[in-house]
Amino acid sequence: MSNSPKQIQLIQPDDWHLHIRDGEVMKDVLVDTARQFARAIIMPNLKPPVTTVALANAYRTRIEASLESLGIVRFTPLMTLYLTDNTSADEVHKAKAAGITAFKLYPAGATTNSDAGVSDIKRCYGVLEAMQTVGMPLLVHGEVTSADIDIFDREAVFIDRVLEPLRKDFPELKIVFEHITTKQAAHYVRDAQTNGKNSLAATITPQHLLMNRNAIFAGGIRPHNYCLPVLKREEHRVALLEVATSGSPRFFLGTDSAPHSKGAKEAACGCAGCYSAFNALGLYAEAFESVGKLDKLEGFASLFGPDFYSLPRNTKTISLVKQAQSIPAELPLGDETIVPLRAGEAIAWSLA
Ligand code: DOR
Ligand code: ZN
C-alpha cells in the first residue's frame, strides 16, 4: 500500500475499550460506534457498577434491546465485570461460563465511577489466581491514586508499584494496560518479557495519539480535551504513536470514548472523558497518516485485538476515504447534548 492513498480498505475494526452508559444515552452512542465497529468491550463503570454476572447479563439484555430498537443487526457487545475488594473467585468461574470477556480493575478513586474499585490489589489475589487459571483477561486502569503523586506521574508510578509486581506474581494472567498515555507505559509493554505467552497488551486512544497536554489549555481551559489518564507531554505522544504504528501486536485500538453531557463537562468540576466515537476511525487514520504508516492501521484496528482475546477476526471489510468530514459542534445525548472530540473542526478521513 502506498502511504498517501486516497482510500483504504480494512477488515472491519473493533473497539477494545468503550463506555456506552445506559438508558437513552446508550442509544445515541451505540449508533456512532456500530457505524464503524463490529464489536466493542463495554466498560462496567455504571452507577451502580456492573460487579456480577447477573448485572452483566441484565446490562447485555438492555444493550441488545437498544440495538434492536435502532435496527442495528451487526454489532456485538463484549461484556466486562467491575472488580471490587469483595469479588469472589466463584464469580470468575461463573463469568467464564457466561461468556463474559474480561474483568476491569479500577483502583478506587482513579476515575469516573471508580469509588467501588479496588483499594489494594493484594485483596484480589484469590480472584486473580482464578482468572489466570481460566484465562480471563484483566483490563487495567493503570494509575495510582495517592494524592501525593503528581497527576502526570500516576501512570509511570503504577507500573513500578502495581503492574510489575502483579506480573511477577501472575506471569500467565492476560493483562491489558488500558489507554496508555506515557513513554514509560509504551516501552514497558513493548519490552516486556512474556516467555512466548500472549499475556500483555495495551490499548491506545485517538486523543493520546493526536494531542499533548497543551490541548487542555489552548487559549483557555478546554474541558472537552480532559480525560483520564490526562494527556501528557509531546514526547509521550510521540512514543505512543511510534508503538501504535510499529506493527507490534501488543498495541491495539481502544477509543475509551466516554460520553458526558455538555453540562457535565463545562462545569466548575468537569467530568473526565472525550467523546471520540463519532468518527474514531477517521481520527486514528489521521494519526497513522501523520507518520506515513497508514499501512499499519489494519493490524492495530482490526487484527491484534481479536488475536489477543482469542476471538475470530472479522471478515467483512470497510473503506475509509480521504474526504474531510466536519464534526458537528454538538450531538444529541439523551435529553441533553454532547460536544464530540474535535467539535466544529474537520477530520481528514471518513467512512466511505
Ligand atoms: O476519561 C475517562 N473517562 N477516563 C476513565 O477512565 C473513565 C471515563 C468515563 O467513564 O467517563
Ligand atoms: Zn475507560
SS (H, E, C) 167-235: HHHCCCCCEEECCCCCHHHHHHHHHCCCCCCCCEEEEECHHHHHCCHHHHCCCCCCHHHCCCCCCCCHH
Query: Strand pairing of 350-351 and 317-321?
Result: antiparallel
**What are the boundaries of each domain within the chain?**
7-351
For residue 110, the ligand closest to its alpha carbon is 1
Res. 31: pLDDT tops 90: yes
Ligand 2 centroid to 3 CA: how many Å? Answer: 31
Catalytic positions, written as ranges: 256
Given a contact cutoff of 8 angstroms between Cβ atoms, the answer to whether 343 and 289 are in contact is: no
Question: What's the rounded mean pLDDT across residues 329-345?
Answer: 98
For residue 155, the ligand closest to its alpha carbon is 1
Residue whose Cα lies nearest atom 3 of ligand 1: it is 273
Looking at 2.40.100.10, 3.30.470.10, 3.40.50.620, 3.20.20.140, the CATH number of the domain 7-351 comes to 3.20.20.140
Res. 75: pLDDT tops 60: yes
Atom of ligand 1 nearest to the CA of 141: 6
Q: What is the pLDDT of residues 218-252, one digit of tens each?
A: 999 999 999 999 999 999 999 999 999 999 999 99
Q: How far apart are CA 153 and CA 71, in angstroms?
A: 44
Quote the cell numbers at residue 69: 430498537
Ligand 1 pocket test, candidate residues 227, 269, 271, most atoms within 8 A of CB: 227
What confidence score (pLDDT) does residue 2 get? 55
What confidence score (pLDDT) does residue 195 get? 86
The percent of residues in the chain predicted with pLDDT above 90, rounded, is 94
Given a contact cutoff of 8 angstroms between Cβ atoms, the answer to whether 107 and 114 are in contact is: yes
Please report, in angstroms and rounded to a whole number, the separation of the first and last CA atoms in the chain.
18
Q: What is the pLDDT of residues 80-134, one digit of tens each?
A: 999 999 999 999 999 999 999 999 999 998 887 888 899 999 999 999 999 999 9
- Residues within 6 Å of ligand 1 by CB: 19, 45, 111-112, 141, 227-228, 258, 272-273
Ligand 1 centroid to 112 CA: how many Å? Answer: 5
Helices 53-70 and 23-36, axial angle in degrees (round to 10): 70
Q: What is the pLDDT of residues 284-313, one digit of tens each?
A: 999 999 999 999 999 999 999 999 999 999
Q: How far apart are CA 300 and CA 250, in angstroms?
A: 9
Q: What is the pLDDT of residues 191-217, one digit of tens each?
A: 999 988 889 999 999 999 999 999 999
Question: What's the rounded mean pLDDT across residues 154-180?
Answer: 97
**Alpha helices, DSSP H only, in the chain?**
23-36, 53-70, 89-97, 125-134, 154-158, 164-169, 183-191, 206-210, 234-244, 262-265, 280-290, 297-298, 304-308
Q: How far apart are CA 241 and CA 155, in angstroms?
A: 17
Q: How far apart are CA 280 and CA 36, in angstroms?
A: 8
Q: What is the mean pLDDT of the chain?
A: 96
Q: How far apart are CA 226 and CA 173, in angstroms?
A: 31
Res. 321: pLDDT tops 70: yes
